[in-house]
Amino acid sequence: MPKTYQLVVIGAGPGGLCAAITAASLGLDVVVLDEQPSPGGQIYRGISQTPDDRSALLGADYQRGADLVAAFKASGAQYWPQTTVWSLNSRREIGILRQGRASIIQAERVIVASGAMERPVPFLGWTLPGVMNAGAAQILLKTAGVVPAQGTVIAGTGPLPLLVAWQYLRAGVKVKAVLELSPGTNLWRAAPYLPGALVAGDYISRGLKYTLDLNKGGVPIYYGVSRLQARGNDRIEAVEYGWDILGSDRRETIITDSLLVHFGVIPRTNLTKAAGCQHIWDRGQQCWRPQVDRWGNTNVPGIAVIGDNAGIGGARSAEHSGRLAALEAARSWHLISTQQRDRQAHNDLKWLRKDLRVRPFLEALYRLPDSLLVPPDDEILVCRCEEISAGQIRQAVREEHGDPNQVKFYLRCGMGPCQGRQCAPAVAQIVAAENKRPVADYTTFRVRPPIRTLTIAQLANLESSES
Ligand SMILES: Cc1cc2nc3c(=O)[nH]c(=O)nc-3n(C[C@H](O)[C@H](O)[C@H](O)COP(=O)(O)OP(=O)(O)OC[C@H]3O[C@@H](n4cnc5c(N)ncnc54)[C@H](O)[C@@H]3O)c2cc1C
């Protein structure tokens, strides 16, 4: 039989680290798996190896991760870096790839903390070399100090484009423009949530500081931008966009060999879907997420989901939810009583409620319009792996393949190496729009293992047992 572990945490971001620290302190035998070489997750990527000057440049929010990682290292939890999870099922059997070898381990309890991914939004030219996600570019800065040498344009929605532009400014990288693609009318929709956002913490003041610093640094920020397009032959040569100034719709061009885009983040749901966890459509966040209770429990016994994986809440909320899931795990083994769990959870629940008050404001302010969610032009490539366009998907729906999974079987979109991670949201949006129904009426692609690429040799040599 596969080797059994008491508690396996998938993901060493702030959520997974806090879960592991708390669980280990309560006497649980914990193993943390993460595909990265060092702990910290997305926000604190590479924190234990980043040189001091680069760490200072990335700002106080990044540096905050150093204490968390130090506490994790001292916690006694086992840590398996460079370990990719390629499968999770409802019996809590976990397929892992470690040091080139695939194997299956068994967990009595699993906390899935695999975080979020940048929302893929297909637009004209998004597959050209030189166009990449802003978060991915930020990872290059955090882990390797690599930046776009000839400068860049940053386009999209959400707080991350501002943060990346601010970090680049401090690193001496020329940011030619920040293009904000959320509609101006969002401001009015967000206004009623501002008082709640202000009590949540310093989120708004930090956003204002980044904006002011960018203004002082001469970085132009254009609001109300639409119809983004990357142009070029073998690689990006220019960015084109529409800009509505006082009712006159202008078309502008910026010459650049680099465009960084970001349209918010969405939970990584491939593991939880493969495990059979129930998912719901989150109207505010415009994405599917696993349905969980306050302790992270899903409908699948022994599988909890925390942090951004359970719905976007940011790093602080991920920490609180990690501790709550660990307390619940300890309660389930009678290491603490229900009353002790509830008492110890009191502060986390309080801070979580406070911290999450910023979300309705951010969700309204950065709400994506249909023109971004549903690729408007037929020639836009939606599935990059199988090279399927928006037009082909529309045609398939018109031919009665009226559900994302039917479209997948018919066209193979979502069957390539990324296993639908890049196209699933857009395919569901196109199907819903063609059928004139809300996207919540559909499910995205069914997910089957392996959710990450494995070679035939790795599978054939699977270190396993009957299972
Ligand atoms: C690209 C990106 C950049 C971001 N940058 C910032 C930022 O600068 N500032 C900020 O405030 N917020 C940032 N965010 C948001 C922030 O990262 C999250 O709110 C926060 O990190 C959530 O913590 P978490 O523990 O839930 O997940 P994460 O921090 O995302 O940690 C998840 C971990 O799971 C691991 N993992 C995922 N899938 C697997 C798998 N199959 N096998 C093994 N390991 C796996 C990942 O390697 C990662 O270490 C960013 C998000 C993204 C996606």
Of 23-37, 228-242, 413-427, the poorest mean pLDDT is in 413-427
12 ligand 1 Cβ < 6 A: yes
Number of H helices, E strands in the chain: 18, 21
Of ligand 1's atoms, which has the minimum distance to the CA of residue 36?
Answer: 47
Instruction: Find the 97 Cα to ligand 1 centroid distance in Å.
Output: 19
What percent of the chain has pLDDT above 90? 85
User: Tell me: the pLDDT tens digits for 249-277?
Assistant: 789 999 999 999 999 999 999 999 999 99
Residue 5 confidence class, pLDDT cut points 50, 70, 90: very high
Q: What pLDDT is stored for residue 346 in this prediction? A: 97
Q: Which domains does the chain have, with CATH numbers?
A: 4-117+266-336 (3.50.50.60), 131-263 (3.50.50.60), 374-441 (1.10.10.1100)
95 ligand 1 Cβ < 6 A: no
117 ligand 1 Cβ < 6 A: yes
| 47: pLDDT strictly greater than 90 | no
Contacts of 137 (CB under 8 A, 6+ apart): 147, 148, 152, 164, 260
Which residue has a Cα nearest atom 7 of ligand 1?
Answer: 43
Q: Is 92 exposed, middle or buried (0-12, 13-18, 19+ CB in 10 A)?
A: buried
User: Tell me: the pLDDT tens digits for 299-340?
Assistant: 999 999 999 999 999 999 999 999 999 999 999 999 999 999
Contacts of 64 (CB under 8 A, 6+ apart): 44
Q: Between the CA of residue 119 and those of 43, 262, 267, what are the distances in Å?
A: 16, 7, 9
User: Tell me: the pLDDT tens digits for 57-103?
Assistant: 888 888 889 999 999 999 999 999 999 999 999 999 999 999 999 99
Q: Which amino acid is at 162?
A: L
14 ligand 1 Cβ < 6 A: yes
